[in-house]
Structure 1
Amino acid sequence: MKRKAMGTTQSSSSKRATSSGSAALTLFSIPVEILEEVFLNLPPNQVVHVCRLVCHEWKEVADSEALWRERCRREGYHLRVPSKIPRDWRLFYFLCKKRRNLIQNPRAEQEFNGWEIIANGGDKWVVEGIFEPHPNEKVQKNFVTSYHLCKKSQLIDLEKEGYNPSFMDQFQPDIKISDWYAPRYDCSCKYEICVELLNQAKGTIQTFAPETVYIEQWNDNQWRQMTHVFQKYGKGARYIRFTHGGKDTKYWAGWYGIRLTDSCVEICPEVDT
Protein backbone atom coordinates (compact mmCIF):
# COMPACT_ATOMS: atom_id res chain seq x y z
CA MET A 1 0.00 0.00 0.00
CA LYS A 2 1.34 3.38 -1.02
CA ARG A 3 1.71 6.06 1.57
CA LYS A 4 0.29 9.48 0.74
CA ALA A 5 2.76 12.32 0.97
CA MET A 6 2.35 14.58 4.04
CA GLY A 7 0.36 17.67 3.32
CA THR A 8 -1.13 16.49 0.03
CA THR A 9 -4.54 15.49 1.39
CA GLN A 10 -7.15 17.08 3.68
CA SER A 11 -9.38 15.14 6.03
CA SER A 12 -13.16 15.52 5.87
CA SER A 13 -13.19 17.08 9.36
CA SER A 14 -10.60 19.62 8.26
CA LYS A 15 -12.68 20.44 5.19
CA ARG A 16 -15.73 20.98 7.38
CA ALA A 17 -13.75 23.31 9.65
CA THR A 18 -12.51 25.31 6.68
CA SER A 19 -16.01 25.50 5.25
CA SER A 20 -17.41 26.57 8.60
CA GLY A 21 -14.72 29.23 9.00
CA SER A 22 -15.45 30.60 5.54
CA ALA A 23 -19.15 30.76 6.32
CA ALA A 24 -18.47 32.60 9.58
CA LEU A 25 -16.17 35.02 7.77
CA THR A 26 -18.86 35.65 5.17
CA LEU A 27 -21.54 36.08 7.83
CA PHE A 28 -19.65 38.51 10.03
CA SER A 29 -17.82 40.55 7.38
CA ILE A 30 -20.57 43.19 7.08
CA PRO A 31 -19.72 46.78 6.14
CA VAL A 32 -19.30 48.83 9.30
CA GLU A 33 -21.99 51.34 8.26
CA ILE A 34 -24.58 48.58 7.86
CA LEU A 35 -23.55 46.84 11.09
CA GLU A 36 -23.80 50.12 12.98
CA GLU A 37 -27.29 50.75 11.57
CA VAL A 38 -28.37 47.26 12.63
CA PHE A 39 -27.09 47.87 16.17
CA LEU A 40 -28.87 51.23 16.29
CA ASN A 41 -32.15 49.42 15.71
CA LEU A 42 -31.61 46.76 18.37
CA PRO A 43 -32.34 47.14 22.11
CA PRO A 44 -29.23 48.68 23.72
CA ASN A 45 -28.84 45.89 26.28
CA GLN A 46 -28.79 43.32 23.46
CA VAL A 47 -26.01 45.24 21.71
CA VAL A 48 -23.89 45.15 24.89
CA HIS A 49 -24.66 41.66 26.20
CA VAL A 50 -25.05 39.71 22.94
CA CYS A 51 -23.76 41.45 19.81
CA ARG A 52 -20.39 42.56 21.17
CA LEU A 53 -19.58 38.95 22.14
CA VAL A 54 -19.97 37.57 18.60
CA CYS A 55 -16.57 38.50 17.21
CA HIS A 56 -13.81 41.10 17.38
CA GLU A 57 -15.30 43.16 14.55
CA TRP A 58 -18.74 43.33 16.19
CA LYS A 59 -17.18 44.20 19.54
CA GLU A 60 -15.33 47.15 17.99
CA VAL A 61 -18.54 48.55 16.52
CA ALA A 62 -20.55 47.88 19.72
CA ASP A 63 -17.92 49.71 21.78
CA SER A 64 -17.41 52.59 19.36
CA GLU A 65 -17.96 56.20 20.41
CA ALA A 66 -19.70 56.89 17.08
CA LEU A 67 -22.41 54.28 17.73
CA TRP A 68 -23.40 55.60 21.16
CA ARG A 69 -23.09 59.24 20.17
CA GLU A 70 -25.49 58.60 17.29
CA ARG A 71 -27.82 56.67 19.59
CA CYS A 72 -27.90 59.66 21.94
CA ARG A 73 -28.70 61.97 19.02
CA ARG A 74 -31.55 59.79 17.74
CA GLU A 75 -33.12 59.36 21.18
CA GLY A 76 -32.79 63.00 22.14
CA TYR A 77 -30.13 62.80 24.85
CA HIS A 78 -28.30 66.08 24.36
CA LEU A 79 -25.43 67.72 26.22
CA ARG A 80 -26.59 70.69 28.25
CA VAL A 81 -23.21 72.30 27.68
CA PRO A 82 -21.96 71.33 24.18
CA SER A 83 -18.33 72.00 25.10
CA LYS A 84 -18.41 69.33 27.85
CA ILE A 85 -17.82 66.06 26.01
CA PRO A 86 -18.46 62.75 27.86
CA ARG A 87 -15.45 60.57 28.48
CA ASP A 88 -17.60 57.53 27.69
CA TRP A 89 -20.55 58.00 25.34
CA ARG A 90 -21.97 54.55 26.13
CA LEU A 91 -22.02 55.35 29.86
CA PHE A 92 -23.55 58.75 29.08
CA TYR A 93 -26.28 57.06 27.03
CA PHE A 94 -27.25 54.51 29.69
CA LEU A 95 -27.19 57.08 32.51
CA CYS A 96 -29.46 59.33 30.47
CA LYS A 97 -31.79 56.44 29.62
CA LYS A 98 -32.10 55.31 33.25
CA ARG A 99 -32.21 58.83 34.67
CA ARG A 100 -35.28 59.57 36.77
CA ASN A 101 -36.25 60.93 40.15
CA LEU A 102 -35.64 58.20 42.74
CA ILE A 103 -37.77 59.99 45.36
CA GLN A 104 -41.29 58.62 45.63
CA ASN A 105 -44.19 61.08 45.78
CA PRO A 106 -41.98 64.20 45.72
CA ARG A 107 -44.85 66.69 45.18
CA ALA A 108 -47.30 65.51 47.87
CA GLU A 109 -49.72 64.24 45.22
CA GLN A 110 -50.27 61.05 47.26
CA GLU A 111 -50.32 62.66 50.69
CA PHE A 112 -47.40 61.08 52.63
CA ASN A 113 -47.12 57.83 50.68
CA GLY A 114 -43.45 56.78 50.39
CA TRP A 115 -42.27 59.00 53.25
CA GLU A 116 -41.32 57.98 56.78
CA ILE A 117 -42.38 60.61 59.33
CA ILE A 118 -39.60 60.86 61.90
CA ALA A 119 -40.71 64.06 63.70
CA ASN A 120 -44.31 65.27 63.76
CA GLY A 121 -44.33 68.21 66.14
CA GLY A 122 -46.89 70.93 66.81
CA ASP A 123 -50.06 70.33 64.81
CA LYS A 124 -48.15 67.77 62.68
CA TRP A 125 -47.38 67.64 58.97
CA VAL A 126 -50.14 68.46 56.48
CA VAL A 127 -50.46 68.68 52.70
CA GLU A 128 -51.83 71.86 51.14
CA GLY A 129 -52.13 73.42 47.71
CA ILE A 130 -49.28 75.78 46.83
CA PHE A 131 -49.91 79.42 47.73
CA GLU A 132 -47.23 80.79 45.40
CA PRO A 133 -46.65 79.51 41.80
CA HIS A 134 -43.73 77.09 41.59
CA PRO A 135 -41.06 77.28 38.81
CA ASN A 136 -42.19 73.79 37.82
CA GLU A 137 -45.79 74.25 36.67
CA LYS A 138 -46.52 70.57 37.44
CA VAL A 139 -46.18 71.29 41.16
CA GLN A 140 -49.60 71.98 42.68
CA LYS A 141 -49.16 70.73 46.26
CA ASN A 142 -46.61 70.96 49.07
CA PHE A 143 -45.88 69.50 52.48
CA VAL A 144 -46.29 72.00 55.34
CA THR A 145 -44.63 71.99 58.79
CA SER A 146 -45.99 73.23 62.11
CA TYR A 147 -44.74 75.02 65.24
CA HIS A 148 -42.53 72.20 66.53
CA LEU A 149 -40.00 70.29 64.43
CA CYS A 150 -41.40 68.22 61.55
CA LYS A 151 -39.05 65.88 59.64
CA LYS A 152 -39.57 63.13 57.09
CA SER A 153 -37.28 60.74 55.27
CA GLN A 154 -36.89 58.25 52.43
CA LEU A 155 -34.36 55.43 52.06
CA ILE A 156 -33.43 54.65 48.45
CA ASP A 157 -32.08 51.18 47.67
CA LEU A 158 -29.82 51.70 44.65
CA GLU A 159 -29.72 48.05 43.61
CA LYS A 160 -33.53 47.81 43.62
CA GLU A 161 -33.58 50.92 41.46
CA GLY A 162 -31.38 49.20 38.86
CA TYR A 163 -27.91 50.41 39.85
CA ASN A 164 -26.04 47.25 40.81
CA PRO A 165 -23.04 47.27 43.20
CA SER A 166 -20.39 46.63 40.53
CA PHE A 167 -21.69 49.52 38.43
CA MET A 168 -21.72 51.91 41.41
CA ASP A 169 -18.22 50.87 42.48
CA GLN A 170 -16.66 51.00 39.02
CA PHE A 171 -18.20 54.20 37.65
CA GLN A 172 -19.26 56.13 40.78
CA PRO A 173 -21.75 58.20 38.76
CA ASP A 174 -22.72 61.65 39.95
CA ILE A 175 -25.64 61.72 42.39
CA LYS A 176 -27.57 64.98 42.16
CA ILE A 177 -30.03 66.06 44.84
CA SER A 178 -32.36 69.04 44.91
CA ASP A 179 -35.15 70.27 47.16
CA TRP A 180 -37.57 73.19 46.95
CA TYR A 181 -38.67 75.10 50.04
CA ALA A 182 -40.64 78.27 50.70
CA PRO A 183 -41.75 80.30 53.74
CA ARG A 184 -45.01 82.04 54.48
CA TYR A 185 -44.51 85.77 54.09
CA ASP A 186 -46.09 86.52 57.49
CA CYS A 187 -44.16 84.04 59.67
CA SER A 188 -40.49 83.29 60.29
CA CYS A 189 -39.38 79.69 59.92
CA LYS A 190 -36.43 77.34 59.48
CA TYR A 191 -35.49 74.63 56.96
CA GLU A 192 -33.18 71.61 57.36
CA ILE A 193 -31.90 68.94 54.97
CA CYS A 194 -29.54 65.99 55.33
CA VAL A 195 -28.70 63.54 52.53
CA GLU A 196 -26.43 60.55 53.23
CA LEU A 197 -24.74 57.99 51.00
CA LEU A 198 -24.75 54.68 52.87
CA ASN A 199 -22.94 51.35 52.49
CA GLN A 200 -24.48 47.87 52.65
CA ALA A 201 -24.57 47.98 56.47
CA LYS A 202 -26.15 51.47 56.23
CA GLY A 203 -23.00 53.10 57.55
CA THR A 204 -22.33 56.62 56.31
CA ILE A 205 -19.95 57.09 53.37
CA GLN A 206 -20.62 60.76 52.66
CA THR A 207 -23.08 63.38 53.97
CA PHE A 208 -24.56 66.60 52.70
CA ALA A 209 -25.90 68.55 55.68
CA PRO A 210 -25.71 72.32 55.17
CA GLU A 211 -26.39 74.78 57.97
CA THR A 212 -30.02 75.29 58.94
CA VAL A 213 -31.67 77.99 56.83
CA TYR A 214 -33.54 80.65 58.84
CA ILE A 215 -36.03 82.93 57.09
CA GLU A 216 -37.37 86.07 58.74
CA GLN A 217 -40.98 87.22 59.01
CA TRP A 218 -42.33 89.47 56.20
CA ASN A 219 -40.17 87.76 53.61
CA ASP A 220 -40.54 87.58 49.82
CA ASN A 221 -42.70 84.44 49.95
CA GLN A 222 -40.71 82.87 47.06
CA TRP A 223 -39.60 79.31 46.33
CA ARG A 224 -35.91 78.55 46.91
CA GLN A 225 -33.90 75.53 45.74
CA MET A 226 -31.25 73.57 47.63
CA THR A 227 -28.90 71.51 45.41
CA HIS A 228 -25.85 69.32 45.82
CA VAL A 229 -23.89 66.79 43.72
CA PHE A 230 -22.06 63.81 45.24
CA GLN A 231 -18.92 63.01 43.21
CA LYS A 232 -15.95 60.66 43.61
CA TYR A 233 -17.42 59.19 46.78
CA GLY A 234 -15.54 55.89 46.56
CA LYS A 235 -16.74 52.31 46.54
CA GLY A 236 -19.57 50.90 48.59
CA ALA A 237 -22.53 53.24 47.97
CA ARG A 238 -25.67 51.09 48.22
CA TYR A 239 -28.33 53.37 49.72
CA ILE A 240 -29.26 57.06 49.82
CA ARG A 241 -31.11 58.46 52.81
CA PHE A 242 -32.91 61.76 52.11
CA THR A 243 -34.22 63.68 55.15
CA HIS A 244 -35.66 67.18 55.37
CA GLY A 245 -38.02 69.29 57.43
CA GLY A 246 -38.35 72.38 59.58
CA LYS A 247 -40.82 74.44 61.58
CA ASP A 248 -42.14 77.95 62.11
CA THR A 249 -40.18 79.95 64.67
CA LYS A 250 -43.12 82.01 66.00
CA TYR A 251 -44.76 78.95 67.58
CA TRP A 252 -48.13 79.78 66.09
CA ALA A 253 -50.80 77.07 66.21
CA GLY A 254 -51.56 75.63 62.79
CA TRP A 255 -49.28 75.38 59.77
CA TYR A 256 -47.11 78.45 59.37
CA GLY A 257 -43.79 76.62 58.96
CA ILE A 258 -41.62 75.90 55.94
CA ARG A 259 -43.24 74.42 52.81
CA LEU A 260 -41.47 71.59 50.94
CA THR A 261 -42.06 70.02 47.52
CA ASP A 262 -40.51 68.61 44.32
CA SER A 263 -37.61 66.86 46.10
CA CYS A 264 -35.31 64.98 43.74
CA VAL A 265 -32.47 62.43 43.75
CA GLU A 266 -30.97 61.48 40.37
CA ILE A 267 -28.10 59.33 39.13
CA CYS A 268 -26.83 61.34 36.19
CA PRO A 269 -23.91 61.85 33.77
CA GLU A 270 -20.94 63.83 35.02
CA VAL A 271 -21.17 66.40 32.22
CA ASP A 272 -24.75 67.17 33.25
CA THR A 273 -23.90 68.34 36.77
Structure 2
Amino acid sequence: MLITSTFLTEGISGWDILSNMGDGWRVEEVMTPHPNQGATQNFVSSYGPCMKAQLVDLRKKGYNNYLMDKVQPHIRISDWYAPRFDCASEYEMRVELLNKKKEAIHIFAPERVNFEQWNDQNWHEMTHVFKNYGPGVRYVHFVHGGRDRQYWKGWYGIRVTDSCVEICPSEGR
Protein backbone atom coordinates (compact mmCIF):
# COMPACT_ATOMS: atom_id res chain seq x y z
CA MET A 1 0.00 0.00 0.00
CA LEU A 2 1.28 3.40 -0.95
CA ILE A 3 -0.85 5.54 1.38
CA THR A 4 0.70 6.62 4.69
CA SER A 5 -1.25 6.32 7.95
CA THR A 6 -3.69 3.77 6.55
CA PHE A 7 -4.65 2.44 9.96
CA LEU A 8 -3.93 5.69 11.80
CA THR A 9 -0.87 4.40 13.63
CA GLU A 10 0.70 7.77 12.83
CA GLY A 11 -2.47 9.76 13.47
CA ILE A 12 -3.08 12.51 10.95
CA SER A 13 0.59 12.67 9.89
CA GLY A 14 1.20 11.92 6.25
CA TRP A 15 -1.98 13.71 5.22
CA ASP A 16 -2.24 17.25 3.87
CA ILE A 17 -5.29 18.89 5.42
CA LEU A 18 -7.14 20.76 2.66
CA SER A 19 -10.08 21.85 4.80
CA ASN A 20 -10.62 21.42 8.51
CA MET A 21 -13.90 23.23 9.11
CA GLY A 22 -16.34 22.92 11.99
CA ASP A 23 -14.42 21.17 14.75
CA GLY A 24 -12.02 19.65 12.19
CA TRP A 25 -10.78 16.11 11.75
CA ARG A 26 -10.49 13.70 14.67
CA VAL A 27 -9.30 10.10 15.11
CA GLU A 28 -11.61 7.73 16.98
CA GLU A 29 -12.31 4.03 17.50
CA VAL A 30 -14.61 2.50 14.87
CA MET A 31 -18.29 2.54 15.91
CA THR A 32 -19.22 -0.44 13.72
CA PRO A 33 -16.80 -3.34 13.11
CA HIS A 34 -14.89 -2.91 9.86
CA PRO A 35 -14.63 -5.82 7.36
CA ASN A 36 -10.84 -5.57 7.72
CA GLN A 37 -10.21 -6.42 11.38
CA GLY A 38 -6.98 -4.39 11.26
CA ALA A 39 -9.01 -1.20 10.88
CA THR A 40 -9.85 -0.39 14.49
CA GLN A 41 -9.78 3.40 14.16
CA ASN A 42 -11.06 5.93 11.65
CA PHE A 43 -10.88 9.62 10.87
CA VAL A 44 -14.16 11.44 11.46
CA SER A 45 -15.25 14.74 9.94
CA SER A 46 -17.20 17.54 11.57
CA TYR A 47 -20.08 19.83 10.60
CA GLY A 48 -17.98 21.89 8.20
CA PRO A 49 -16.22 20.48 5.14
CA CYS A 50 -13.22 18.33 6.09
CA MET A 51 -10.95 17.20 3.25
CA LYS A 52 -7.48 15.64 3.33
CA ALA A 53 -5.05 14.44 0.69
CA GLN A 54 -1.88 12.51 0.03
CA LEU A 55 0.43 12.86 -2.94
CA VAL A 56 2.10 9.54 -3.78
CA ASP A 57 5.41 9.94 -5.65
CA LEU A 58 5.57 6.69 -7.62
CA ARG A 59 9.31 6.94 -8.35
CA LYS A 60 10.12 7.39 -4.63
CA LYS A 61 7.97 4.32 -3.93
CA GLY A 62 10.09 2.25 -6.35
CA TYR A 63 8.06 2.42 -9.57
CA ASN A 64 10.37 3.57 -12.38
CA ASN A 65 9.41 5.50 -15.50
CA TYR A 66 9.82 2.46 -17.78
CA LEU A 67 7.33 0.43 -15.76
CA MET A 68 4.81 3.25 -15.59
CA ASP A 69 5.18 4.25 -19.28
CA LYS A 70 5.60 0.90 -21.05
CA VAL A 71 3.91 -1.66 -18.80
CA GLN A 72 1.31 0.75 -17.45
CA PRO A 73 0.34 -1.48 -14.52
CA HIS A 74 -3.17 -1.14 -13.20
CA ILE A 75 -3.47 1.37 -10.38
CA ARG A 76 -6.12 0.31 -7.89
CA ILE A 77 -7.51 2.78 -5.38
CA SER A 78 -9.94 2.08 -2.58
CA ASP A 79 -11.35 3.85 0.43
CA TRP A 80 -13.75 2.82 3.19
CA TYR A 81 -16.35 5.23 4.54
CA ALA A 82 -19.27 5.01 6.96
CA PRO A 83 -21.90 7.41 8.24
CA ARG A 84 -23.00 7.81 11.81
CA PHE A 85 -26.50 6.34 12.24
CA ASP A 86 -28.10 9.38 13.85
CA CYS A 87 -26.76 12.17 11.63
CA ALA A 88 -27.01 12.82 7.89
CA SER A 89 -23.60 13.05 6.24
CA GLU A 90 -21.79 13.15 2.92
CA TYR A 91 -18.63 11.54 1.54
CA GLU A 92 -16.53 12.57 -1.42
CA MET A 93 -13.40 11.33 -3.12
CA ARG A 94 -11.18 12.45 -5.99
CA VAL A 95 -8.10 10.64 -7.26
CA GLU A 96 -5.88 12.05 -9.99
CA LEU A 97 -3.02 10.49 -11.93
CA LEU A 98 -0.49 13.27 -12.45
CA ASN A 99 2.46 13.80 -14.79
CA LYS A 100 5.90 15.09 -13.74
CA LYS A 101 4.56 18.68 -13.73
CA LYS A 102 1.77 17.48 -11.40
CA GLU A 103 -0.86 18.05 -14.08
CA ALA A 104 -3.81 15.67 -14.19
CA ILE A 105 -3.71 12.94 -16.85
CA HIS A 106 -6.71 10.96 -15.58
CA ILE A 107 -9.27 11.73 -12.88
CA PHE A 108 -11.65 9.54 -10.89
CA ALA A 109 -14.23 11.77 -9.19
CA PRO A 110 -17.50 9.98 -8.45
CA GLU A 111 -20.57 11.89 -7.30
CA ARG A 112 -20.83 12.71 -3.61
CA VAL A 113 -22.44 9.99 -1.53
CA ASN A 114 -25.17 11.26 0.80
CA PHE A 115 -26.52 9.44 3.82
CA GLU A 116 -29.74 10.34 5.53
CA GLN A 117 -30.26 10.44 9.28
CA TRP A 118 -31.17 7.06 10.84
CA ASN A 119 -29.14 4.97 8.41
CA ASP A 120 -27.56 1.54 8.98
CA GLN A 121 -24.09 2.97 9.86
CA ASN A 122 -22.40 0.20 7.77
CA TRP A 123 -19.03 0.53 6.08
CA HIS A 124 -18.97 1.07 2.30
CA GLU A 125 -16.01 0.70 -0.07
CA MET A 126 -15.27 3.02 -2.98
CA THR A 127 -12.94 1.42 -5.53
CA HIS A 128 -11.58 2.21 -8.96
CA VAL A 129 -8.90 0.72 -11.21
CA PHE A 130 -7.02 2.98 -13.63
CA LYS A 131 -6.11 1.04 -16.82
CA ASN A 132 -4.54 2.02 -20.15
CA TYR A 133 -3.80 5.51 -18.86
CA GLY A 134 -0.91 6.20 -21.24
CA PRO A 135 2.69 7.22 -20.52
CA GLY A 136 3.74 9.95 -18.13
CA VAL A 137 2.08 9.05 -14.83
CA ARG A 138 4.45 9.97 -11.97
CA TYR A 139 2.14 10.75 -9.04
CA VAL A 140 -1.20 9.71 -7.59
CA HIS A 141 -3.11 12.46 -5.76
CA PHE A 142 -5.68 10.93 -3.38
CA VAL A 143 -8.28 13.26 -1.82
CA HIS A 144 -11.25 12.37 0.38
CA GLY A 145 -13.49 13.68 3.12
CA GLY A 146 -16.94 14.95 3.89
CA ARG A 147 -19.04 16.48 6.62
CA ASP A 148 -22.19 16.02 8.65
CA ARG A 149 -25.20 17.59 6.94
CA GLN A 150 -27.05 18.63 10.10
CA TYR A 151 -24.36 21.03 11.36
CA TRP A 152 -24.09 19.43 14.78
CA LYS A 153 -21.16 20.64 16.87
CA GLY A 154 -18.61 17.88 17.34
CA TRP A 155 -17.77 14.89 15.18
CA TYR A 156 -20.91 13.46 13.60
CA GLY A 157 -19.76 13.47 9.97
CA ILE A 158 -18.45 10.81 7.64
CA ARG A 159 -15.85 8.33 8.88
CA VAL A 160 -12.98 7.17 6.63
CA THR A 161 -10.31 4.51 7.07
CA ASP A 162 -8.26 1.85 5.25
CA SER A 163 -7.46 4.11 2.29
CA CYS A 164 -5.35 2.38 -0.34
CA VAL A 165 -3.40 2.99 -3.55
CA GLU A 166 -1.87 -0.15 -5.09
CA ILE A 167 0.21 -0.73 -8.20
CA CYS A 168 -0.63 -4.09 -9.78
CA PRO A 169 2.25 -4.88 -12.22
CA SER A 170 0.97 -8.36 -13.09
CA GLU A 171 -2.29 -6.82 -14.29
CA GLY A 172 -0.67 -4.42 -16.76
CA ARG A 173 -0.81 -4.81 -20.52
Q: Same fold (TM over 0.5)?
A: yes
> What do the CA deviations read for 1:217-252 (whole angstroms, capped 9, x no partner)?
000010000000000000000000000000000000
Q: Which runs of 5+ in 1 are unaligned?
A: 1-100
**Equivalent residue for 1:203?**
103
- Residue of 128, 135, 150 corresponding to 1:228: 128
**Percent identity between the two aligned chains:** 57
- Residue of 20, 25, 29 corresponding to 1:125: 25
**Equivalent residue for 1:103?**
3
Please, what TM-score do these two structures have when normalized by structure 1? Answer: 0.62
**Equivalent residue for 2:139?**
239
> What do the CA deviations read for 1:109-149 (whole angstroms, capped 9, x no partner)?
22101101010000010000111100000111000000000
SS at match of 1:106: coil
> 2: CA distance between counterparts of 1:248 and 1:228?
25
Q: Which runs of 5+ in 2 are unaligned?
A: none
Runs of 4+ residues over 2 Å off in structure 1: none
CA-based RMSD of the aligned residues comes to 0.8
SS at match of 2:67: helix
Please, what TM-score do these two structures have when normalized by structure 2? Answer: 0.97
> Which has the higher relative contact order, 1 or 2, with Cα contacts under 8 A spaced 6 or more apart?
2
- Correspondence 1:160-179 to 2 at 5 A: 160-179=60-79
- Correspondence 1:137-156 to 2 at 5 A: 137-156=37-56
> 1: CA distance between counterparts of 2:66 and 2:30?
42
> 1: CA distance between counterparts of 2:10 and 2:66?
34
> 1: CA distance between counterparts of 2:109 and 2:15?
19
> 1: CA distance between counterparts of 2:67 and 2:126?
27
**Equivalent residue for 2:163?**
263
Corresponding residue pairs, total = 171
| Residue 250 of structure 1 pairs with residue 145 of structure 2 | no
